[in-house]
Structure 1
Amino acid sequence: MSSTRPSPSSSPSPPGVQRADGSSVRIGALVPLTRPGWVEAGHHLLAGLELAARDVNDSGGIDGRPLELVVRDTAADPRKAVAAVEELAELGVAALAGEYHSVVARTAATRADALGLPFLCSSAVLDALTEQPTDWVARLAPAQSRGWRIYADHLIGAGHSRIAVATQPSVYWASGARILRDHLAPRGGTVIELDMSTLAPTAVCDELVDQRATALLLLVGQPDPAVPIVKAVRGDQRLAEILIGAPAGQPEFASWAKLLGDDGAAIPFLRYLPERLGPLGARVGTALRERLAEAPSFVAFEGYDTVTVLADVLRTHGTDRARIAASWPRVAVEGTRGLIQFSRTPGIGVWQWAWPAIQVVDRDPAQPDRFRILRSG
């Protein structure tokens, strides 16, 4: 496997890694690796992408040619993503893979569509990944509307009808709040928005009391302001019974437990894993744990599945970009989380895996490094 990253200087290739010499099959990988991107998620995504590329090359590559990842850091910046897509297209990559942040992925998908460059998006969930339907883009992650409706059902099932959402300005957070409101309203639920661009964490506590909210959802960035909000709410005796939730998955990563300790437990979030992994998923999970030196998140599995699908497409249909894009509806690949196939889904303009497993989970208060499955969908 070879991963090419932008560097101010050239450095020797590690043992066993081939330099790009024109003989490799290149895939461009978009990953948030620096702030303000969610760096921890980016590292997990990249670990999955790289592990799958290594496995592909260990099994003969693409018709005897090594598969090479050409990695670019998007840093959660749509402008950097556009520049990266254009650069990777000029470098001759056969396809694009990756990206975690929905707003960034949407920009990358739009540019890839315009350039005629196939893009298999790993992790972004925003329903409207492109403005118009396209054949150039496919996605592994479930649409936000599906996952967040399952999350809303969990809230109603747990008896919560007055739900506050701490939000920041973003298309992604606004979409999430709208999905929750539309799904909860017919079931007697009320969504109260708290604008974190104007409220301090302590002021959030006062608002929760005044609004008689029984749940607070964190539709905000990690670690700031998510961690200070949790600390403020957990430290306010008036809110001892309130549920804190994080549908976007902030508690999935180890840094959450390190920053919050016991305060970070019992905060339900969404993740995209089956209740039990099959043989491939179990093997990959073990290898990812070794690579990351911690438990792999669902994002790492998404990365692995992305390269696995693209490798199958490249072996079957070759490296011509138009043929790759035309192959999405014919994909049938066994991934770490089940059989991956793409179809057209109402309201979604890209080829969509419908659907990976979805869970609502939290960290066990008795053992914060262990996850409890609260709901599956």
Structure 2
Amino acid sequence: MKKCGLWGLVSIFLFLIFSGSLAAKEPIKIGAFFALSGPAAFIGTPTKLVAEMAVAEINKKGGINGRPLELVIGDTEGDPSKAVAIAKRFIYKDKVVAIIGPTRTGTGMAVKPIVEAARVPTIMTVGGDPVIMGGKFGSYRYVFKTPQRSSTAVRKIYQYLKKKGLTRIAILTATDGFGKDGRKWLKKLAPEYGLTIVAEEAFNPRDTDMTAQLAKVWKENPQALVAWTIGPAGAIVAKNVKQLGITAPLFQCHGLPDPKYIELAGPASEGNLMPSTKLMAWEQLPDTDPQKPVIAHFVHLYKEVYHYDRRFPINTHSGYAWDAIMILARALEKVGPDREKLREAIENTKGYVGISGVYNITPEDHNGLDESSMIIVKIVKGHWVLEDY
């Protein structure tokens, strides 16, 4: 009995020492800021949850070389000035190793010079291209992004239109940063695909009616309409198209494949087409697609383990934060938390099979995805259907 008691005490003592050593491991801090309130909260909030899910899964497996990851969360509210303040707090007070986010192109552009000056690797979850463009848009040495470029999504739409023999299009774009970025690429790439833009109009993303703009472009007899916005404005465009009796197919941008879009647009969503990550129709992918098992695992975690689907049904944005965290984690495993080495490791990411595509990042391309990472989906009876073309 005495021997058993002694060994028991020794075991407890060793356990406490071992546990203490694990608990004493200094966490690797990562800043994570998204629009958790404001007009883009419907994207930002689930993006935060996915970031937390990714970190939890990494920490369950022992963290990064024995050190846990710790997210330091911030709410930009979709406000560029607040995003700048949070980025500075992350860098100078919280001493984060890297940053994930934000949600919108405008906030991303606001913090871009801040993280560049501080030399902090930042993987953004924004849709617009300027955050990873140089020249007049500033340096992007430390800035990366996981969503497809707007130019990639435009090319995907244009490939489809060309294959279908459609040559005359009209475009309607929002006046915010994301909409302006889309308009630029829609106009720039059209000649490359033999397309003529016969009419173009703009709208404020907070507008509640776009019939005036749609009536103007419809007079020019386009064979297809392309709208470029995120949020409720896209559903309003769809409703107005139906109200005006416009028969040309409506293409939305890559930011709108979301059950919320179908809910808001209702019957007007029927037949709408848009470029999307494979996540929206993953079960329809061929079994040979390397992303299919990766997406299946993600969906299992999202729905059956963390139960996020109860509040936020999966949409095309759902995988962006997961991919950002995993790309960062891969780099951390290779080089540790040294910011400069980390930046270089992220820039050399090759063959990472993610939720949103297979990433091959280069010094010239801080996104690493091409058109093959996207699909065209069509809404049929309230469901997302993979278009075969």
| Counterpart position of 2:200 | 193
| Counterpart position of 1:24 | 27
| Counterpart position of 2:38 | 35
- 1:301-345, CA deviations, whole angstroms, 9 ceiling, x for partnerless residues? 121111112122222211121221122233344434555332133
Query: Structure 1's 212 and 331: CA in aligned 2 closer, same or farther, altered over 3 A?
Result: closer
Taking structure 1 as the reference length, the TM-score comes to 0.82
Kindly report which structure 2 residues correspond to 1:79-158, keeping only aligned pairs within 5 A, or say none: 79-90=81-92, 91-127=94-130, 129-130=132-133, 131-158=137-164
Q: Match of 1:211, as an amino acid?
A: E
Give the deviation of 1:265 after TM superposition.
2.4
Task: Find out whether 1:229 has 2:237 as its counterpart.
Answer: yes
Q: Match of 2:338, as an amino acid?
A: D
- 8 Å contact from structure 2 (residues 55, 70) kept in 1: yes
Query: Structure 1's 181 and 314: CA in aligned 2 closer, same or farther, altered over 3 A?
Result: same
Task: Find out whether 1:178 has 2:192 as its counterpart.
Answer: no
| Counterpart position of 1:17 | none
Query: Structure 1's 305 and 209: CA in aligned 2 closer, same or farther, altered over 3 A?
Result: closer
Q: Match of 1:192, as an amino acid?
A: A
- 8 Å contact from structure 1 (residues 101, 123) kept in 2: yes
- 8 Å contact from structure 2 (residues 259, 314) kept in 1: no
Give the deviation of 1:148 after TM superposition.
0.7
Distance, in Å, in 1 between the alignment partners of 2:348 and 2:214 is 51
Higher mean alpha-carbon deviation, 195-204 vs 162-171, is at 195-204
Query: Structure 1's 282 and 75: CA in aligned 2 closer, same or farther, altered over 3 A?
Result: same
- 8 Å contact from structure 2 (residues 119, 340) kept in 1: yes
Q: Secondary structure at the match of 2:70?
A: strand
| Counterpart position of 1:13 | none
Query: Structure 1's 338 and 153: CA in aligned 2 closer, same or farther, altered over 3 A?
Result: closer
- 8 Å contact from structure 1 (residues 123, 299) kept in 2: no
Distance, in Å, in 1 between the alignment partners of 2:323 and 2:190 is 33
Q: Match of 2:375, as an amino acid?
A: Q
| Counterpart position of 2:342 | 324
| Counterpart position of 1:280 | 294
- 8 Å contact from structure 2 (residues 36, 76) kept in 1: yes
Kindly report which structure 2 residues correspond to 1:42-53, keeping only aligned pairs within 5 A, or say none: 42-53=44-55
Gaps (5+ residues) in structure 2? 1-22
Task: Find out whether 1:371 has 2:384 as its counterpart.
Answer: yes
- 8 Å contact from structure 2 (residues 112, 131) kept in 1: no
| Counterpart position of 1:362 | 378
- 8 Å contact from structure 2 (residues 29, 69) kept in 1: yes
| Counterpart position of 1:7 | none
Q: Secondary structure at the match of 2:385?
A: strand
Query: Structure 1's 184 and 297: CA in aligned 2 closer, same or farther, altered over 3 A?
Result: same
- 1:257-305, CA deviations, whole angstroms, 9 ceiling, x for partnerless residues? 2122221122111212274543332111121133232542232212111
> Cα RMSD over matched residues?
2.7
Task: Find out whether 1:264 has 2:280 as its counterpart.
Answer: no
Q: Match of 1:193, as an amino acid?
A: E
Task: State percent identity of aligned pairs.
Answer: 20
Distance, in Å, in 2 between the alignment partners of 1:155 and 1:337 is 23
| Counterpart position of 2:11 | none
How many residues align? The count is 345
Higher mean alpha-carbon deviation, 197-206 vs 227-236, is at 197-206
Distance, in Å, in 1 between the alignment partners of 2:170 and 2:356 is 33
| Counterpart position of 2:320 | 302
Higher mean alpha-carbon deviation, 176-185 vs 26-35, is at 176-185
Query: Structure 1's 88 and 219: CA in aligned 2 closer, same or farther, altered over 3 A?
Result: same
| Counterpart position of 2:223 | 214
Task: Find out whether 1:344 has 2:363 as its counterpart.
Answer: yes
Q: Secondary structure at the match of 2:74?
A: strand
Higher mean alpha-carbon deviation, 143-152 vs 163-172, is at 163-172
Give the deviation of 1:88 after TM superposition.
0.5
Distance, in Å, in 2 between the alignment partners of 1:120 and 1:127 is 14
- 1:48-98, CA deviations, whole angstroms, 9 ceiling, x for partnerless residues? 211110100100012322211112122222212111110110211110012
- 8 Å contact from structure 2 (residues 26, 68) kept in 1: yes
Q: Secondary structure at the match of 1:213?
A: coil
- 8 Å contact from structure 1 (residues 181, 191) kept in 2: no
- 1:141-182, CA deviations, whole angstroms, 9 ceiling, x for partnerless residues? 232222212212222333433322222323332232232223
Higher helix share: 2
- 8 Å contact from structure 1 (residues 154, 375) kept in 2: no
| Higher RCO, 1 vs 2 (CA within 8 Å, ≥6 residues apart) | 1
- 8 Å contact from structure 2 (residues 229, 253) kept in 1: no
Q: Secondary structure at the match of 1:300?
A: coil
| Counterpart position of 1:204 | 213
Q: Match of 1:292, as an amino acid?
A: D
Taking structure 2 as the reference length, the TM-score comes to 0.80
| Counterpart position of 2:67 | 65
Gaps (5+ residues) in structure 1? 1-19
Q: Secondary structure at the match of 2:387?
A: strand
Q: Secondary structure at the match of 1:353?
A: coil
- 8 Å contact from structure 1 (residues 269, 362) kept in 2: yes
Query: Structure 1's 67 and 191: CA in aligned 2 closer, same or farther, altered over 3 A?
Result: farther
Runs of 4+ in 1 over 6 A off after TM superposition: none
Query: Structure 1's 337 and 171: CA in aligned 2 closer, same or farther, altered over 3 A?
Result: closer
Task: Find out whether 1:311 has 2:329 as its counterpart.
Answer: yes
- 8 Å contact from structure 1 (residues 361, 375) kept in 2: no
Give the deviation of 1:188 after TM superposition.
4.1
- 1:123-152, CA deviations, whole angstroms, 9 ceiling, x for partnerless residues? 433145353444322222232222212212
